[in-house]
Amino acid sequence: MRYIEPHGHMVSRTTDDYQDMATAGCVAVSEPAFWAGFDRSSVDGFYDYFCQLTEHEPKRAAKFGLQHFTWLCINPKESEDVKLAEEVIAIIPEFLDRPSVLGIGEIGLNKNSRNEIKVLEKHVQLAAEHDQLILVHTPHLEDKLKGTRLILDVLKADKRIRPERVIIDHVEEHTVKLVLDQGFWAGMTLYPESKCSPARAIDIIDVYGNERIWMNSACDWGVSVPLAVPRTALEMKKRGHAADAIDKMIYQNPYKFMSQSPKFKLSV
Ligand SMILES: [Zn+2]
């Protein structure tokens, strides 16, 4: 089995996790910028985090034979403070040329608030100005359907944004069609407690097909499983999916989406 982990918060994981992922066939991991589990107190915290994502983590991943790519932003959970968000957005351009940066993410909404929408718009503008791919987080605790609609409206309002260069992550049964029908990519997050279980993710593929869709573990500092993608691949096999259909979901699709950035080149 070969696979790409398109959404893993590896700075929160141990070297054992890297080892297990590599053993299971992972060749590359993409890490969107995320909430640290606590609010950072200033823009300097983000500067250091972006250095960690673009300098330190690729080296750590390489020790286990994995290529590491990343996405930058201030996440929706910290977007309530618009002034801080503006300061963070202002430092992002100096990191965009770094070799492992694929785009802006994970941006989106958490509580669907006015300030969050304002900061989302600023990120979309930044991505458009610098011709970056976009990775979007959709809310779990608040109304996901409403949040997804609001996010798609913001994206569609900027005519420079091409839907095929945007992935809307954490889709579920009630949001996947909305996303795919409008030409965006969809991501399914495999979580043991919330979001999507492997069985539900496979049901979604069975119903909506396997074009413009990927699966990820979104492993972070909380309850999550770094091997969720290969485990779901095994589940697909058990349910009779052909080897090539499994490879498409866990390798070819993320490869296709991320290859839209010229920086996404796999050495294997
Ligand atoms: Zn995430």
d(CA 121, CA 97): 22
Domain that holds residue 154: 3-258
Distance 238 CA to ligand 1 centre (A): 28
Q: Is residue 265 part of a domain?
A: no
The pLDDT value recorded for residue 8 is 97
Distance 7 CA to ligand 1 centre (A): 6
Distance 121 CA to ligand 1 centre (A): 19
The pLDDT value recorded for residue 220 is 93
Supply the CATH number for residue 123's domain. 3.20.20.140
The pLDDT value recorded for residue 242 is 97
Distance 185 CA to ligand 1 centre (A): 16
Predicted confidence (pLDDT) at residue 142 exceeds the cutoff of 90: no
Give the burial class of 41: count Cβ atoms within 10 A of its Cβ; 0-12 exposed, 13-18 middle, 19 or more buried. Answer: exposed
Predicted confidence (pLDDT) at residue 57 exceeds the cutoff of 90: yes
Distance 239 CA to ligand 1 centre (A): 28
Distance 32 CA to ligand 1 centre (A): 6
Mean residue pLDDT of the chain comes to 96
Q: Is residue 220 part of a domain?
A: yes
Q: Token pair of 202, please?
A: 């496979």
Dihedral Cα 156, 161, 162, 166, nearest 10 deg: -90
Rounded mean pLDDT of 213-229?
94
Distance 219 CA to ligand 1 centre (A): 7
Distance 192 CA to ligand 1 centre (A): 15
Which DSSP category does 136 fall into?
A: E
Distance 162 CA to ligand 1 centre (A): 22
Distance 218 CA to ligand 1 centre (A): 5
Query: How far separated are the first and last CA of the chain, in Å rounded?
Result: 14
CA atoms lying within 13 Å on the CB side of residue 217: 28
Q: Is residue 198 part of a domain?
A: yes
Rounded mean pLDDT of 99-124?
97
Helix axes 82-91, 43-51, angle to 10 degrees: 40
Which candidate, 220, 193, 206, 157, places its Cα nearest to that of 9?
A: 220
Of 20-29, 55-64, 219-228, which range is least confident?
219-228
Rounded mean pLDDT of 41-61?
98
The pLDDT value recorded for residue 154 is 98
Q: Is residue 232 part of a domain?
A: yes
**Hey, how many other C-beta atoms are within 10 angstroms of the C-beta on 248?**
20
Q: Name the pLDDT band for 170 (thresholds 50, 70, 90).
A: very high
Q: Name the pLDDT band for 265 (thresholds 50, 70, 90).
A: very high
Rounded mean pLDDT of 100-116?
96
Q: Name the pLDDT band for 195 (thresholds 50, 70, 90).
A: confident
Rounded mean pLDDT of 73-99?
97
Q: Is residue 170 part of a domain?
A: yes
Distance 169 CA to ligand 1 centre (A): 9
Rounded mean pLDDT of 5-28?
97
Q: Is residue 268 part of a domain?
A: no
Predicted confidence (pLDDT) at residue 24 exceeds the cutoff of 90: yes
The pLDDT value recorded for residue 42 is 96
Q: Is residue 267 part of a domain?
A: no
Give the burial class of 65: count Cβ atoms within 10 A of its Cβ; 0-12 exposed, 13-18 middle, 19 or more buried. Answer: middle
Distance 97 CA to ligand 1 centre (A): 22
Distance 44 CA to ligand 1 centre (A): 21
d(CA 13, CA 244): 30
Distance 31 CA to ligand 1 centre (A): 8
The pLDDT value recorded for residue 196 is 85
Distance 268 CA to ligand 1 centre (A): 26
Distance 247 CA to ligand 1 centre (A): 23
Q: Is residue 263 part of a domain?
A: no
Distance 242 CA to ligand 1 centre (A): 29
**Between 197 and 121, whose confidence is greater?**
121
Distance 34 CA to ligand 1 centre (A): 6
Number of domains in the chain: 1
